[in-house]
Structure 1
Amino acid sequence: MSAPVPASARPYTRAATLPALLARRITIIDGAMGTMIQRHKLGEADFRNEHLAGHGRDLKGNNDLLVLTRPDVITQIHEAYLAAGADIIETNTFGATSIAQEDYGLAHLAAEMNLQAARLARAAADRFQSADKPRFVAGALGPTPRTASISPDVNDPGARNVSFDQLRDAYREQAEALLEGGCDLFLVETIFDTLNAKAAIFALDALMEDRGERLPVIISGTVTDASGRILSGQTVEAFWHSVRHARPLAVGLNCALGATLMRPYIEELARVAGDTFVSCYPNAGLPNPMSDTGFDETPPVTGALIEEFAKSGFVNIVGGCCGTTPEHIAEITRRVGAYRPRGVHSPLFTPLLAGAAA
């Protein structure tokens, strides 16, 4: 009797056309959600509904909650990015795990948030979909505010404030709701701790095995400073070797750095991850409180920098993270359209190193 086919090797049951699209042209993912929410200048009342009127903690700033209390705002943002040219929009669920929502006393609402977020994004994508331009919904799984690899206590290196199993269970709950709500793919993003990402990958694989369907998965790490490492200590190459077993549709980098500082790291990732697509959605430069968006770069600046990535053959998926707006996404869309996407090939046999050595 033949061995069962691993979930990661099965054909996609949703977004089945996405790999061909990525091979044909550079594909656009949306920009920042938080930046756009800030434009609405919402108050505490906007983060409450009749069920939360008497909730004893401040809720302002819990942007994931807005899918329940101000769905009109989230829908408007999705539609603005779709109108700007985004092929893929992310659900407003970056912090919608039960672990992250514990900070607001709302862990019990995590599943409902993810379900509603996926439904809002799905409805918006369907309104903009056409035969020649399909639109996709990425169920966004953020890193959580806790880390499985790093001690929260400088005096106790072995201390942890979360376990692998707790992360796995929280991600499983999130992913189930996103799947039910209609997402086409999963996006494990803004990874600063590879062990957290592995918990998400484990949860996704188990969910898809149980459901008998396979969705594409994109994995996106975050280089936090000029050392070229993610916070838990790995280089970009080591990070890739640690997650490649998941056989993601794409691997990439987002957040933390603007495109200028990210360039050497996305170039390195494009070199080592030869057998998968590469994504890149940087911040709009560095933080600048005097700017309208809170970040340095205007749309033409960000667009020109990402155009250079496309011209250099580094990327298949591009977009924006913190500080980017629909204007940034429109400019990126306009600029990268003339360039072919990065090619994918079978990897050469080389030693694979995944540690955090100097």
Structure 2
Amino acid sequence: MSTLPWLHPERVALLQAALAERILILDGGMGTMLQGHRLDEVGFRGERFEHGHDSAREHHHDGHAHEHPGGCDLKGNNDLLTLTQPAIIRGVHEAYLAAGADLVETNTFNSTRISQADYKLEHLAHELNLEGARLARAACDKFTAQTPGKPRFVIGVLGPTSRTASLSPDVNDPGFRNVTFEELAGNYRESAAGLIDGGADVVMVETIFDTLNAKAALYALSELFRERGTRVPVMISGTITDRSGRTLSGQTAEAFWYSVRHARPLSVGLNCALGAADLRPHIQTLADTAECFVSTHPNAGLPNAFAEYDETPEQMAGVIGGFARDGLLNLVGGCCGTTPAHIAAIAEAVRDYAPRALPGAAREAA
């Protein structure tokens, strides 16, 4: 896929120029911001699902009309708010852009058929990604128009899904799998097509706890690019699930990098699960090893007994400032528990430090 031309070469050139110049700022948590709106079931349903079904009653891209059974609660399906509360989602994007973010992530973490099956909304997968990218695109274009010297970029998010290809969900049947590589790849391809069609500058495979899932996503992207004859940059971000220093499927940060290196990503990094201090040694490993750019967007510390995050913007920025001082970073933002205040503090903390230099001769990121 590295030989294909860029879909938007001028956008890629702007992004690469910005990466060469400074540490770029990612946005922060989406769910954290949405929880502040305290939406109830009615709020999640909006007008479209007010009466328990998809009142749009359109024929979706699979050619069939779909009804939504009224007995299934939709509260908690944050991705659905892209369609039912778009002003809220765009408001979150704009709050992060105002705080200093260079790149914002689409509200599509669970916008695959597999994840939407929990709500019997599989048929919305393509639309969720398409509209999620359009909302982020509109916000970025608004801020770029205000500050033309600081272009803003849309990261189309492919989340990990709720299933794992490497591990059995049944402790009594280690060989059992509840998903296949082909099913994952099909899900990712459909979602990625929506993200790209909606205007995403980059696609990020993120919060990777199972590298085989990620390989399915990377395979799907390569096939989609080959089919279309153009490509967009790809970012890859794994998650170290606890203080063991490994992903859920058992890899260290270094092993994870070597497993995905073949995709020649724009960046590799780590996000979620841990706070910045606990992620430090693993980001150090990637900074020492990876030939591409390095990213991180940690949580605001570890969750407390109430599943809330206590690390203040000042505390988080203080730790991440050390990352930047020591030359570990190219892109940085926040994950669970982070807010625009965290992103503003992080942006200030890294502003005066040079971005991490690519090891050896710089080569084109793919």
**Do both share a fold (TM > 0.5)?**
yes
Work out whether 1:65 is the aligned partner of 2:80: yes
CA distance in 2, matches of 1:102, 1:330: 36
**Following TM superposition, by how much is the alpha carbon of 1:290 offset from its aligned partner in structure 2, in angstroms?**
6.3
Look up the match of 1:259: 276
Look up the match of 2:302: 286
Give the secondary structure class of the aligned counterpart of 2:271: strand
Which of 293, 297, 313 lines up with 1:277 in the alignment?
A: 293
Give the secondary structure class of the aligned counterpart of 2:109: coil
Look up the match of 1:128: 143
Look up the match of 2:214: 197
CA distance in 1, matches of 2:176, 2:331: 38
Work out whether 1:206 is the aligned partner of 2:223: yes
Work out whether 1:242 is the aligned partner of 2:259: yes
CA distance in 2, matches of 1:208, 1:290: 43
Look up the match of 2:6: 12
CA RMSD of aligned residues (A): 1.3
Q: Deviations over 1:128-164 (max 9, x none)?
A: 0032100000000000000000000001110001000
**Following TM superposition, by how much is the alpha carbon of 1:288 offset from its aligned partner in structure 2, in angstroms?**
2.7
Unmatched tracts of structure 1, length 5 or more: 1-6, 348-358
TM-score normalised by length of structure 2: 0.90
Quick check: 1:167–1:196 contact (8 Å CA) kept in 2?
A: yes
Give the secondary structure class of the aligned counterpart of 2:294: strand
CA distance in 1, matches of 2:195, 2:175: 34
Unmatched tracts of structure 2, length 5 or more: 53-69, 362-366
CA distance in 1, matches of 2:164, 2:16: 32
CA distance in 1, matches of 2:119, 2:32: 21
Which of 350, 362, 365 lines up with 1:336 in the alignment?
A: 350
TM-score normalised by length of structure 1: 0.92
Look up the match of 2:55: none
Work out whether 1:82 is the aligned partner of 2:97: yes
**Following TM superposition, by how much is the alpha carbon of 1:298 offset from its aligned partner in structure 2, in angstroms?**
0.5
Look up the match of 2:246: 229
Give the secondary structure class of the aligned counterpart of 2:298: strand
CA distance in 1, matches of 2:333, 2:85: 25
Give the secondary structure class of the aligned counterpart of 1:122: helix
Look up the match of 2:174: 157
Look up the match of 1:103: 118
CA distance in 1, matches of 2:227, 2:94: 33
CA distance in 2, matches of 1:315, 1:236: 15
**Following TM superposition, by how much is the alpha carbon of 1:11 offset from its aligned partner in structure 2, in angstroms?**
4.7
Quick check: 1:8–1:205 contact (8 Å CA) kept in 2?
A: no
**Following TM superposition, by how much is the alpha carbon of 1:272 offset from its aligned partner in structure 2, in angstroms?**
1.0
CA distance in 1, matches of 2:324, 2:247: 24
1:278 aligned partner, one-letter code: V
